[in-house]
A and B are shown apart, each in its own frame.
Chain A
Amino acid sequence: MIRHLITLMWNRKRANGLLIVEIFLAFVVLFSVGSVGVYTWRNYQTPLGFDYQDVWEIDLNPGTQPRAEQFGTLQRILQRLRSTPGIVSVSRSVSNTPFAFSENSTTLDTGEGTPQGYGDVYDADAELPEVMGLRIVAGRWFDRRDDAVSRRPPVVITELMQRALFPDGQSAIGKTVRASLGKPEEFQVIGVSGPYRAGGELSEPRPGFFLYVSPQDTARAMQVLLVRVRPGAGAALEKRITNDVRAINASWEMGVNPLPTQRLAQLKVNLAPPVILGMVCIFLIVNVALGLFGVLWLNISRRRGEIGVRRAMGATAGNISLQVLGEILVLTTFGLGLGLLVAAQFPLLGVMGVQTGVYLTAMLLAAGLLYLLATVCALYPSRLAAGIQPAVALREE
Chain B
Amino acid sequence: MLLNYLKIAWKVLLRRKFFTFISLFGISFTLMILVVLYAMIDYTIGPHTPEKRVDRMLFANRMQLMYREGGQSNSSIGYDFLTRHVRTLHTPEKVSLSESNFGTTVAYVGQQVLKLDHKRTDGEFWQVLDFDFVSGRPYNLDEVRDAARVVVINETTSRRYFGTTTGVIGRPLVLDAVPYRVVGVVRDISISRIFSYAEIWTPVTTTTDNLKDPNYLGGYQAIILARRADDLQQIQDEYQQVVNRLPVPDPKTYKKVNSYAQPLLASLTARFNNDAGVEGGVGRFMKVVLSMGLLFMLLPALNLININVSRTLERSAEIGVRKAFGATAGNLVGQFLLENIFLTLLGGILGLGLAAGALHLVNDSHFLAYSTFALNGRVCAVALGVILFFGILSGAYPAYKMSKLQAVKALKGETAA
Contact = CB atoms under 8 A, between A and B. Distances in A.
Given A25-B302, A295-B306, A298-B314, A287 B106 contact: no
A239 B113 CA distance: 8
Contacts of B302: 18, 21-22, 25
Contacts of B176: 242, 246, 253
Given A235-B113, A280-B33, A295-B307, A243 B22 contact: no
Interface residues of B, number: 39
Contact of B306 (A18, A64, A236, A302): A18
B336 to A, nearest CB: 16
Interface string B279-314: 000000000000000001011101111110111011
**Residues of B contacting A: mostly:** helix
B209 A18 contact: no
Interface string A47-63: 00000000000000101
Given A63-B209, A256-B106, A291-B26, A22 B113 contact: no
Nearest to B112: A235
A257 to B, nearest CB: 8
A374 to B, nearest CB: 14
A291 B209 contact: no
B310 A290 contact: no
A261 to B, nearest CB: 9
Nearest to B313: A302
B182 to A, nearest CB: 21
Interface residues of A, number: 39
A311 B311 CA distance: 26
A253 B306 contact: no
B18 interface: yes
Contacts of B4: none
Interface string A1-32: 00000000000000100110110011001000
B29 interface: yes
B19 interface: yes
A234 interface: yes
Contacts of A253: 176, 208
B389 interface: no
Nearest to A279: B33
A294 B19 contact: yes
A61 B105 CA distance: 12
Given A21-B302, A242-B176, 18 more contacts: A26-B299, A235-B111, A242-B106, A255-B104, A284-B299, A287-B26, A287-B300, A288-B303, A290-B303, A291-B26, A293-B22, A294-B18, A294-B19, A294-B22, A294-B310, A298-B19, A299-B310, A302-B314
Interface of A: 15, 18-19, 21-22, 25-26, 29, 61, 63-64, 234-236, 238-239, 242-243, 246, 251, 253, 255-256, 268, 272, 280, 283-284, 286-288, 290-291, 293-295, 298-299, 302
The 9 nearest A-B residue pairs measured at CB: A63-B208, A291-B303, A298-B310, A290-B22, A235-B113, A22-B302, A287-B26, A25-B299, A294-B22
